Amino acid sequence: MGLLIGYLLIFLISKRYGSEGVGIYTLTISIVTILSIIASMGLNLSILRFIGEFQDEKIKKLKLLYIYSLEIVTILSLIISFSLYYFASYIATNIFGNDNYKLALEIASFIMPLFALSNINIEYIRGLKHIKVSEYLRSFNRPFINIILLYFVGFYIMDMLLPLYTLAIAIIITILLSTIFIIKSIGKIVYCSCDEFNRKKLIKTSLPMMFSILAGFIMGDLGIYMVEYYMPTSSVGVFAIAMKLSFLISIILITVNNISAPKFSELYWSGERGKLQKLITQSSKMIFLPSLIIGFIIVIFAKDILSIFGDEFIGGVEVLYLLVASQLINSFTGSVGILLNMTGHQKVYKYITLTALFISIILYYYLIPIYGIIGAGVSAMVGSIIINLWAMLYAKIKLGYTTYYNPFQKAIR
């Protein structure tokens, strides 16, 4: 439902502001997300691992984990926010070549710290295994509030940047709701001493995760930046819609990952290898067939689906095919990235994602000037192949875990 409401938001923006409006909104949100990943330093993922480790520990470690995470993210996000605001004009003019981005980046500098803090809250709730609450706050609450505000306020204010203003309000509401829930779950947040757990240990574990998360996200959104650099903003909107549609294939993968990540950590650190492999196999089985069906539906009705957003988006049908292939590869290899991060192999996954990112950048640089958004689609597909197959083989050969679904393999009992 969260993903569907997210598509409804993009649909509303496309109808009111066209492909250029979608391009500006998508690129700005991408910048906010990337900077929030840096500000979070991988804490949004390491939180899941540590909560899994602390399952039998006293509540004081859980409280310290939350306090340390908020401290680190608040300081870093404010530094990055002030820097983005200061350089907004320079980035808009000299990097994107579009002065319309100046105000958008200034708004982004305000949104980014809020976004980073809300993500920490949401991942903490997820780690506590309140999955329904965490996914409501992450996937449904923010876009739903944004749509309501955008729909009604949009009658009085025709501003292409209005979706960013309404997003800021939605994130503030999300922070308030998530903070109240956390306090109710673990009690009053107060400092307490714990010799076995400190900020240094938290940061040491989180940093490699930050690089892998950042590299993975940049790989997903790199095409948007490169298309913006070489082509008009309207082309960014077309490419962004194709990306959004291809992400439908990963809806099951995302859902399974959100549920399985804390459980992966819990089973691995408690030494339950057999149960962990069984859970991985069950997860990959859940992902395989639905992803394949969704992929076929998108390919068959690609033009009709794109035309819903407007006739100008139909030109993205070929790149949509390539992005569908990219997402199918991502789904077929299973929850391999989550597995590596939750089992203490975050450094290996960091190197895998950084290598794939480097190769993707080279491909984008050479292919987009020649083939346009088709070149961007090819680059995205190759990057997905590298990162997912490499990680899958490492999990199989080095760790002994099979993450892909084999329909001919006997079920594990």
For residue range 260-287, list pLDDT tens digits in order.
777 887 788 778 888 888 888 888 888 8
d(CA 319, CA 214): 24
pLDDT tens for 312-341 read: 788 888 889 988 998 888 888 888 888 888
**For residue 44, with 0-12 CB atoms within 10 Å meaning exposed, 13-18 middle and 19 or more buried, which class applies?**
buried
Closest CA to 282 of 300, 305, 263: 263
In this prediction, residue 193 has a pLDDT band, given cuts at 50, 70 and 90, of low
340 domain residue, yes or no? yes
In total, the chain counts a number of residues equal to: 413
37 plus 133 within the same structural domain: yes
Q: Evaluate whether residue 29 is within a structural domain.
A: yes
Residues 291 and 374 in one domain: yes
> Is it the case that residue 191 has pLDDT exceeding 60?
no
Same domain, 150 and 172: yes
Q: 172 with 192, same domain?
A: yes
Q: Report whether 324 contacts 34 (CB < 8 A).
A: no
pLDDT of the residue at 187? 67
pLDDT of amino acid 58: 58
Task: Quote the pLDDT of residue 243.
Answer: 83
Whether residue 175 is found in the same domain as residue 230: no
Contacts within 8 Å (CB) and 24+ apart, 259-262: 259/131, 260/335, 260/338, 261/48, 261/126, 261/335, 261/338, 261/342, 262/48, 262/51, 262/52, 262/126, 262/127, 262/129
Backbone angles phi, psi at 42, to 5 degrees: 80, 5
Q: Does residue 232 sit in the same domain as residue 158?
A: no
Q: Are residues 54 and 168 in the same domain?
A: yes
pLDDT at residue 78 in the model: 93
203 in a structural domain:
no
In a domain, 90, yes or no: yes
Check pLDDT > 60 for residue 410.
Answer: no
Tell whether 398 and 260 lie within a shared domain. yes
Whole-angstrom Cα distance, residue 245 to residue 239? Answer: 10
Pairwise CA distance, residues 146 & 144, whole Å: 5
Give the mean model confidence (pLDDT) for residues 101-117.
89
What is the phi/psi pair of residue 196, to 5°? -80, -15
The answer as to whether 54 is a domain residue is yes
**pLDDT, position 411:** 47
Write out the residue range of the structural domain in which residue 384 sits: 208-408
Q: What is the pLDDT of residue 252?
A: 80
More confident residue, 199 or 245: 245
Claim to verify: residue 139 and residue 263 sit in the same structural domain? no
User: CB–CB of 362/225 below 8 Å?
Assistant: no
CA-only gyration radius of the chain, Å: 21
Domain count across the chain: 2
Based on the domain organization, do 245 and 150 belong to the same domain?
no
| pLDDT at residue 7 tops 60 | yes
Residue 202 included in any domain: no
Within a domain: residue 286? yes
Question: Is residue 225 a contact partner of residue 95, using CB atoms and an 8 Å limit?
Answer: no
- Compute the distance between CA of residue 111 and CA of residue 168 in angstroms, rounded to an integer: 6
In a domain, 327, yes or no: yes
Nearest partner of 374 among 216, 218, 223, judged by Cα? 223
Query: Could you tell me which of 259, 403, 397, 244 has the C-alpha nearest to residue 337?
Result: 403
- Domain-terminating residue out of 197, 229, 255: 197
Residue after which a domain boundary falls, among 147, 166, 197: 197
Examine the domain organization and report whether 18 and 131 are in the same domain. yes
Q: 35-39, 50-54, 111-115: which range is least confident on average?
A: 50-54
Identify whether residues 159 and 300 lie together within a single domain.
Answer: no
Scanning the structure block, which residue is given the tokens 């980014």? 112
